Amino acid sequence: MKKAAALPISFIVMLFAAAFIAEAQQLKKVFRVGILENLSSPRTDAFRQGLRELGYVEGQNLVIESRFGSDDRLPDLADELVRLKVDVIFAPMTNELQAAENATRTIPIVMATPSDPIASGFIASLAHPGGNVTGLTSIFGDLSAKRLELFKEAVPRITRVAVLTDPAIPNYVAVVKGLEETARSLRLKLQILEVRHPGDLDTAFSAISRDRVEALFMAPAPVFFAESRQIADFSSKRRLPSSCTSGEYAEVGCLMSYGVSQTDSFRRAAYFVDKILKGAKPGDLPVQQPTKFELVINLRTAKQIGVTIPQSVLYRADRVIK
């Protein structure tokens, strides 16, 4: 049997040299990641931390192009990131994601907290998103009902609750139906107040003051995030216990929150950016659902509005703001 001819030493050396050069070029490559958000927050820091944990260092192998602005400015900011030819756009929430997708169907986009990206048309399915969008999603319908139960347990005296909600969100009907069913079992009367734009908040606040509701409950909607401090300030001045969707709201004065840990979701979004920068196609990366939920109680707010939170609720809190 004829033996295969041995490869010349010089050829093997050339192969190793080529591989070394290719690896060195990869290490020297500077990636450009765009961030498109309504406003900067500690969640954004969590995303940056996630990138650092994966070996990305700003100024060495990474440049971050951050663009923050109100909802009406998001389309222009998204177009700006496209013109900069970033490698990936991080557009965490629904409004930001919509602006990014309208701006490009080729640059990969990573999301973090949209409630229903399938119904919104951003992805085909969780397992096979297709297109140029992937990342994480939040589930809010069932959490809203659970949060209403926790709210009643934390403030047993409430009987009339104003619910701020946006009918434009994809799962609006399911959220409201779940809240109404839960309210009946808790013997609560709900007043549904629709807020499509920040300007609608004044009308909602007037209705709350006029009808003398006893508490304020925020349903999940992107429109509320930029107005979180305004909502918290209103409820505190009116001495209304308030229940919000995430810890970020509790940090600015909401009495309590229960929901997906957005900080954790933002940090995990860095995983998708890393995979894409290493060659993965966003349409092939399954969308992940949240794994961490947290109950946050703001005792400073409780003291300010004259509410005593039962110890049974405080013991279950993941964080207590004192």
Is 90 inside a domain boundary?
Answer: yes
Decide which of 223 and 5 is more confident. 223
d(CA 54, CA 65): 18
Is 107 inside a domain boundary?
Answer: yes
Average pLDDT of every residue of the chain? 90
And the tokens for 226?
């930029």
d(CA 282, CA 203): 41
pTM of the model: 0.80
What's 227's domain CATH number? 3.40.50.2300
Whether the predicted pLDDT of 5 surpasses 90? no
Do 120 and 266 fall into the same domain? yes
Do 198 and 208 fall into the same domain? yes
Whether the predicted pLDDT of 3 surpasses 60? no
Range among 15-19, 166-170, 241-245 rated most confident: 241-245
pLDDT of residue 19: 56
Is 49 inside a domain boundary?
Answer: yes
Give how many domains the chain has, as a whole number: 2
d(CA 57, CA 122): 30
Average pLDDT on 262-266 reads 91
Do 73 and 182 fall into the same domain? no
Q: Which domain holds residue 273?
A: 29-138+262-292
Do 171 and 83 fall into the same domain? no
Do 273 and 252 fall into the same domain? no
Do 164 and 236 fall into the same domain? yes
Do 155 and 209 fall into the same domain? yes
Do 120 and 145 fall into the same domain? no
| Residues in Cβ contact with 204 at an 8 Å cutoff, skipping those fewer than 6 apart | 162, 164, 193, 194, 195
Confidence of residue 11 (pLDDT cuts 50, 70, 90): low
Do 208 and 266 fall into the same domain? no
Size of the chain in residues: 322
Is 98 inside a domain boundary?
Answer: yes
| Residues in Cβ contact with 165 at an 8 Å cutoff, skipping those fewer than 6 apart | 172, 175, 176, 192, 193, 194, 195, 219, 221
pLDDT of residue 171: 80
In tens, the pLDDT along 205-235 reads: 999 999 989 999 999 888 888 888 999 999 9
Residue 311 β-bridge partners = none
And the tokens for 163?
């619910």
In tens, the pLDDT along 137-179 reads: 986 556 889 999 999 999 999 999 999 999 988 788 888 999 9
Average pLDDT on 259-279 reads 95
Do 167 and 300 fall into the same domain? yes
Is 16 inside a domain boundary?
Answer: no
Is 1 inside a domain boundary?
Answer: no
In tens, the pLDDT along 48-106 reads: 999 999 999 999 999 999 999 988 999 999 999 999 999 999 999 988 999 999 999 99
In tens, the pLDDT along 173-195 reads: 888 999 999 999 999 999 999 99
pLDDT of residue 115: 77
Do 213 and 103 fall into the same domain? no
Is 24 inside a domain boundary?
Answer: no
Whether the predicted pLDDT of 251 surpasses 70? yes
What is the SS3 assignment for 114? Answer: coil
Angle at CA of residue 236, ends 231 and 241, nearest 5° = 90
pLDDT of residue 141: 55
Is 10 inside a domain boundary?
Answer: no
Do 217 and 230 fall into the same domain? yes
pLDDT of residue 18: 58
Residue 242 β-bridge partners = 216
| Helical ranges in 189-261 per DSSP H | 201-211, 228-237, 247-251
